[in-house]
């Protein structure tokens, strides 16, 4: 019986670094001290980046971070598997690969990189325990404050080593850009004045009265293919038409932007809360501003974007022209 060949390692080409390029890439974790970073200079031909792994005095290791997930170890139990990766090292006998499970311990090790300052293709194979609930692929740097580079991690069933090819759901890591039209504005509210309304005209939204709120439905799904959606950016495109920097009591700006969620018990929670003024007191200012400081992992609930707008005179002082959202899926959850 033949089976379709699958790479069981997510982000094996180290293309996704949503938490930052000086921490571990998505789907991986650092064991031991030292550091890890995205590398764009020492890169194997055919890849756009690699991972730079710098050890401390005791060495360190890079391993898949989802090794105890049920969907992962159930696939790996009682299987003969082969782990392979491209490795670059300038010191001999510090860089190698290993397979591990929590029943057997370290199943097998690859040979060491020879340390000749080139890319070498290393591989290791072995059989995991049928009762293992923790299966790991490990990239070792056992040197004392030494640097190695790795890219193209692949894990396949059987005893044959294969060069890197994508995991079947790696594409879900890709960042997506979606626009929320100003014409979807559904409600405004002003304390003491429930008649305050939202207006739409010429593809922009604004408040009917001064100092109102604008609500936009945030209809990006909280999960994609069963995995958590992560919000990377929410960029607001705006225009301030009647700011007056010379008059201290004349102010037109976006006071705050909040991404709120309405939880199942009808509790409203601020998932994101950007409180710095946008377009404060600037005459005829047109610009854009990202209101996400830290990536937000969505939860299952209704989400809304709330704009608190301050303007002193006409209806069109503060205009919302567009809302751009960038997000990705946390595939390794």
Please provide the DSSP assignment of 150-183 as one string.
EEEEEEEESS--------TTGGGGS-EEEEE-GG
Q: How far apart are CA 207 and CA 3, in angstroms?
A: 60
> What's the Rg (C-alpha) of the chain?
26
Residues near 287 by beta carbon (within 8 Å), at least 6 away in sequence = 237, 238, 279
Strands 296-297 and 227-240: antiparallel
Answer positive or negative: Cα dihedral of 200, 202, 205, 208: negative
The answer to whether 123 and 110 have CB atoms below 8 angstroms apart is yes
The Cα angle at residue 262 between residues 260 and 263, in degrees rounded to 5: 125
Class (C level, CATH) for 28-173: mainly beta
Query: Where do you find CATH 2.60.120.260 in the chain?
Result: 28-173, 176-330
Q: How far apart are CA 207 and CA 200, in angstroms?
A: 9
pLDDT at 257: 93
CB-count burial class (<10 Å; 0-12, 13-18, 19+) for 312 = middle
Q: What is the pLDDT along the chain (333 residues), one digit of tens a residue?
A: 345 799 999 999 999 999 999 999 999 999 999 999 999 999 999 999 999 999 999 999 999 988 888 888 888 999 999 999 999 999 999 999 999 999 999 999 999 999 999 999 999 999 999 999 999 999 999 999 999 999 999 999 999 999 999 999 999 999 999 999 888 887 655 444 444 556 666 678 877 766 778 888 898 999 998 899 999 999 999 988 765 544 444 568 888 899 999 877 778 889 999 988 887 655 667 889 999 999 999 998 889 998 888 776 555 578 889 999 999 999 986
Residue 264 burial (CB count, 10 A): 9
Instruction: Say which residue the tokens 């890591």 belong to.
Output: 173
pLDDT at 176: 96
pLDDT at 193: 45
Q: Bridge partners of 128?
A: none
Name the H helices within the chain: 70-76
- Cα distances from 244 to residues 15, 63, 120, 313, 318, in angstroms, run 46, 56, 64, 11, 13
3-state secondary structure of 236: strand
pLDDT at 190: 43
3-state secondary structure of 184: helix
3-state secondary structure of 29: strand
CB-count burial class (<10 Å; 0-12, 13-18, 19+) for 295 = middle
Q: How far apart are CA 73 and CA 71, in angstroms?
A: 6
The answer to whether 141 and 94 have CB atoms below 8 angstroms apart is yes
The answer to whether 150 and 97 have CB atoms below 8 angstroms apart is no
pLDDT at 163: 94
Which DSSP state fits 27? T
Supply the CATH classification number for the domain 176-330.
Answer: 2.60.120.260
Q: Whole-prediction pTM value?
A: 0.83
């Amino acid at each position: 019986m033949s089976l379709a060949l699958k790479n069981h390692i997510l982000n094996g080409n180290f293309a996704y670094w949503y938490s930052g390029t000086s921490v571990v890439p998505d789907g991986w974790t650092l064991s031991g001290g030292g550091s890890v970073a995205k590398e764009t200079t020492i890169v194997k031909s055919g890849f756009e980046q690699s991972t730079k792994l710098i050890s401390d005095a005791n060495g360190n290791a890079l391993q898949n971070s989802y090794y105890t997930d049920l969907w992962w170890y159930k696939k790996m139990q009682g299987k003969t598997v082969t782990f392979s990766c491209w490795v670059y090292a300038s010191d001999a006998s510090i860089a190698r690969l290993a397979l591990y499970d929590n029943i057997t311990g370290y199943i097998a090790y690859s040979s060491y990189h020879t340390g000749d300052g080139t890319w070498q293709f290393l591989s290791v194979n072995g059989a995991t325990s049928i009762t293992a609930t923790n299966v790991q692929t490990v990239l070792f740097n056992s040197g004392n404050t030494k640097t190695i580079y790795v890219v193209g991690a692949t894990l396949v069933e059987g005893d044959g080593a294969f060069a890197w090819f994508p995991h079947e759901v790696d594409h879900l890591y890709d960042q997506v850009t979606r626009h929320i039209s100003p014409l979807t504005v559904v409600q405004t509210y002003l304390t003491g004045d429930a008649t305050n309304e939202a207006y739409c005209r010429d593809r922009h939204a604004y408040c009917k009265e001064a100092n109102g709120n604008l609500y936009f439905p945030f209809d990006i799904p909280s999960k994609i293919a069963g995995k958590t959606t992560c919000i990377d950016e929410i960029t607001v495109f705006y225009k301030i038409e009647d700011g007056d920097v010379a008059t201290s009591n004349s102010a037109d700006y976006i006071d705050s932007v909040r991404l709120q969620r309405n939880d199942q018990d009808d509790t409203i929670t601020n998932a994101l809360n950007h409180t710095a003024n946008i377009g404060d007191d600037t005459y005829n200012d047109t610009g854009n501003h990202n209101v996400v400081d830290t990536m937000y992992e969505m939860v299952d609930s209704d989400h809304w974007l709330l704009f608190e707008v301050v303007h002193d005179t006409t209806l069109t002082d503060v205009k919302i022209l567009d809302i751009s959202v960038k997000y990705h899926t946390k595939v390794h959850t």
